[in-house]
Amino acid sequence: MIMTATLADQLAPYGIDYVDAMDRFGDNADLYERLALKYLDDEHLVALKAAMEAADYSEGYSQAHALKGVAGNLSFKDLFQCAALVSDALYAGEYEAAAEHMPEVERTHELVIKGLSAWQNGTL
């Protein structure tokens, strides 16, 4: 069993705030791990990218908002902030601004995936 402080330090570079997650999940590390690792199969970013490419901004907003919610609930701090920028821009009808934030959403998503994969594979 990895000590919590060590795991928190190892996950932090990936934008995953394990200490915040433990507060949010009532120190239930097993539940958090199970739910966080489910994010590896999350399709919100794929759907968001497709909606943006199709200029379906209503669907884009729905997907960005859902991604923001998932990221917030799982304490993926950087992804949460970037998804919020896209969600807020789409809500306000600022489609170009939303599109400009998409690379950051993708970058922070990939970081989270990298961190979760390392955690899942025991290579942290």
CATH at residue 102: 1.20.120
What are the pLDDT tens digits along the chain (124 aa)?
455 568 999 999 999 999 999 999 999 999 999 999 999 999 999 999 999 999 999 999 999 999 999 999 999 999 999 999 999 999 999 999 999 999 999 999 999 999 999 999 999 8
Contact in structure between 4 and 22 (CB atoms under 8 Å): yes
The number of domains in the chain is: 1
Q: What is the pTM of this model?
A: 0.93
- Domain for residue 100, yes or no? yes
Range of the domain at 51: 9-117
- Domain for residue 42, yes or no? yes
- Domain for residue 1, yes or no? no
- Domain for residue 55, yes or no? yes
- Domain for residue 88, yes or no? yes
- Domain for residue 98, yes or no? yes
Output the DSSP codes for 30-63.
Answer: HHHHHHHHHGGG--HHHHHHHHHHTT-HHHHHHH
- Domain for residue 76, yes or no? yes
